[in-house]
A and B are shown apart, each in its own frame.
Chain A
Amino acid sequence: TQLLEQSPQFLSIQEGENLTVYCNSSSVFSSLQWYRQEPGEGPVLLVTVVTGGEVKKLKRLTFQFGDARKDSSLHITAAQPGDTGLYLCAGEGLKAAGNKLTFGGGTRVLVKP
Chain B
Amino acid sequence: EAQVTQNPRYLITVTGKKLTVTCSQNMNHEYMSWYRQDPGLGLRQIYYSMNVEVTDKGDVPEGYKVSRKEKRNFPLILESPSPNQTSLYFCASKLTTNTDTQYFGPGTRLTVL
| B50 and A98 form a contact (CB under 8 A) | yes
Interface string of B25-67 (1 = CB under 8 A from A): 0000000000100001111110010100000101100000000
**Closest A residue, CB atoms, query B59:** A1
Q: How far is the CA of A35 from the CA of B97 in the complex (A)?
A: 18
**Among A14-22, A51-59, A67-75, A99-107, which stretch is in contact with chain B?**
A99-107
Q: A43 CA to B106 CA in the complex, in Å? A: 9
Question: Which residues of A, 86-110, contact B by the 8 Å Cβ criterion?
Answer: 88, 90, 92, 95, 98-101, 103-106
A-B pair count, CB < 8 Å, reads 56
A31 within 8 A of B: yes
Q: Which residues of B contact A (CB under 8 A)?
A: 4, 35, 40-45, 48, 50, 56, 58-59, 90, 92, 97-98, 100-107
| Complex CA distance for A88 and B35, rounded to whole angstroms | 14
Between A31, A41, A92, A99, the greatest number of chain B beta carbons within 10 A of the residue's beta carbon is seen for A99
Residues of chain B within 8 A of A88, CB atoms compared: 42-43
Report yes or no: A43 in contact with B104, Cβ–Cβ below 8 A.
Answer: yes
Indicate whether A31 sits within 8 Å of B107 (C-beta atoms), given known contacts A104-B42, A106-B42.
no
Min CB–CB distance B35 → chain A (angstroms): 8
Residues of A within 8 A of B (CB): 1, 4, 6, 9, 31, 33, 40-45, 48, 88, 90, 92, 95, 98-101, 103-106
Question: Are A92 and B100 in touch, CB under 8 angstroms?
Answer: yes
Whole-angstrom CA separation of A4 from B60 in the bound complex: 16
Is A105 in contact with B106, judged by CB distance below 8 angstroms? no
| Contact (Cβ within 8 A) B100 A45 | yes
Which residues of chain A are within 8 angstroms of B100 by Cβ–Cβ distance? 31, 33, 45, 48, 92
For A48, the chain B residues whose CB sits under 8 A away are 100-101
CB distance from A99 to the nearest CB of B (A): 5
Report the nearest B residue to A9, measured CB to CB. Answer: B40
Contacts of B104 in A (CB 8 A): 42-44
Min Cβ gap A46→B in Å is 11
